[in-house]
Amino acid sequence: MQPGGTLESRITDADLAIIGGGVGAVAAALAALRHGLRVVLTEEGDRIGGQFTSQGVPPDEHRWIEQFGCTTSYRRYRNAVRDHYRTWYPLTVSARNEPHLNPGLGRVGALCHEPRVSGAVLRALVDPYLSSGRLRILLRARPVAARTEGDRVRSVTVDRADGGLVHIVSPYYLDATELGDLLPLAGVEHVTGFESRHETGEPSAPGEAQPGNMQAFSWVFAVDHQEGENHVIDRPANYDHWSTYRPDYWPGPQIGLTAPDPRTREPLTRTFTPNIRSGPVLADQSQDPGDRELWEFRRAVAREQYEPGFVTSDVTLVNWPMIDYVEGPLIGVSEEDKARHLAGARELSASMLYWLQTEAPRPDGGRGWPGLRLRPDVMDTPDGFAAAPYIRESRRIRAEYTVVEQDVSLAVRGEAGATPYDDTVGVGMYRIDLHPSTGGDNYIDVPSCPFQIPLGALLPVRVRNLLPAGKNIGSTHITNGCYRLHPVEWNIGEAAASLVAYCLGETVEPHDVRRKEGHLRAFQGRLKADGVELAWPEIRGY
């Protein structure tokens, strides 16, 4: 107890401290524990899992995900989600026997499911280590300080919701926060927003750096539809503002069904019809209607997957262009402005829901779907809105190697494929997908090639014992658009923790693993033994 009554404690027996509890954090913890390390993991919110759970975003993945292109541990997570449904839900015989079960039959990906289920699965994966005492999870614990000496972090302090401070002393730290919050606290050199074309040479970069210009974030919510019932929410206080709000590049009010097509930027009017059926999801995603029908796009519960009468309505997750908040970033602003932007994003989403309930056009010529009902149970929250906003962009380390657009762009690389990295620690694939930004930019959505994750992108230019474990690697604003997705973030977290385990076992530093051939090959061998794919097979048509 310090003067003034603040309760303080210390943790000094962890081999690895993971600050943040998102997708990369869980992968990192599992990897470290698998290698025998003692781990402490802190999370600002009330649950682990990040995008999978608190942010309400089922995995965005590439078209080959069922065959290759992810780590064995990520595949174990995916299989566990499916097994959870097979074990506990009254699925139809055909759904139960479908090897690639997609619980919600959503079109955004092959594993659309309830965030609550991801929460249960992730906790089940870590529960044995909690029981053994080798893993400690501190929830509602926000990083507030770091003590450094030279190029090393000596301790990190988290502030718990009960007012207590915990000082964590560990030989290694991973920043797995959604916004890269540990980087400024520890004095780690980093960047935010757009780099300049002069610095990176990227075709899509602006002429001058724009550090405050970042991707929109969104506040996701879950709804079903109960025909003949009225579940209209209270009219949001600023509904008049949001219902007429229109960014310069938007074809009309942002709240509506017309928004830019991400790839062409031309106006595209979607449809929204609760419980509609427009055919099976196509394996060739380039031919699938995708988000043209919004109800199906991120559907997490599909009635036909269950025994008759068990489910009365589908459940869809609203994570659409119409709720992208572009009024300001969450990084580089005052706490007051950050709170204002968070509240604004949530109210934008509430306004979208109110518009759907009261004004959205219906096929019968009417207006509004009053039977739309928030589903708190699906989100595992009190009100059906996600527990936290969906974050697309973080602070990013100044790294020994920074991945640039020219490394992965299909337009630049062509048939040669993405730049190969001798120090690869994993693979990923997604389009360079940048949502509208706080600086007034429209979508940047261009094809990329299947790529590798270079170890150099995980190594800060100076600090020796802190590594990124998520969207905060050495990517640019542009390449963040394809390195930020779920399987890639998982791979990054797993590789970072595996590197720590290797370094502790071999008494070597992370930077030396990359610089010394023998260590690099030995480390890559261990990754492969753990089921981390270091290169893509030969594929065509991406």
Which amino acid is present at 201? Answer: G
The 3-state secondary structure of 8-40 reads EEEECCCCEEEECCCHHHHHHHHHHHHCCCCEE
pLDDT of residue 516: 98
Closest CA to 294 of 356, 247, 374, 230: 356
pLDDT of residue 287: 46
Query: Whole-angstrom Cα distance, residue 132 to residue 38?
Result: 10
DSSP symbol at 537: P
pLDDT of residue 536: 97
DSSP string, 104-157: T--SS-S----HHHHHHHHHHHHHHHHHHTSEEEEESEEEEEEEEETTEEEEEE
Give Cα separations from 101 to 96, 198, 350 (angstroms).
7, 47, 31
Query: For the domain 8-195+395-530, what is the CATH code?
Result: 3.50.50.60
What are the helix and strand counts (H, E) for the chain? Answer: 16, 23
User: What are the residue ranges spanned by the domains of the chain?
Assistant: 8-195+395-530, 217-391
Which residues are CB-contacts of 374 (< 8 A; sequence separation ≥ 6)? 221, 222, 223, 231, 233, 353, 383, 384, 385
Query: Whole-angstrom Cα distance, residue 258 to residue 28?
Result: 40
Query: Whole-angstrom Cα distance, residue 16 to residue 168?
Result: 10
Largest CA-CA distance found in the chain, in angstroms, rounded? 70
Number of neighbouring beta carbons within 10 Å of residue 32: 30
Closest CA to 473 of 445, 499, 437: 499
User: Average pLDDT by consecutive 10-residue portion of the chain (542 residues)?
Assistant: 72 98 98 98 98 96 96 98 98 97 96 98 98 98 98 98 95 98 98 98 97 98 98 98 96 97 95 88 54 95 96 97 98 98 98 98 96 98 98 98 98 96 98 96 96 98 98 98 97 98 98 98 98 93 72
The 3-state secondary structure of 510-534 reads HHHHHHCHHHHHHHHHHHHHCCCCC
Which amino acid is present at 399? Answer: A
Closest CA to 428 of 406, 450, 405, 447: 450
pTM: 0.96
Which residues are CB-contacts of 10 (< 8 A; sequence separation ≥ 6)? 166, 167, 168, 169
Cβ pair 21, 137 in contact under 8 A: yes
pLDDT of residue 286: 47
Query: Whole-angstrom Cα distance, residue 65 to residue 61?
Result: 7
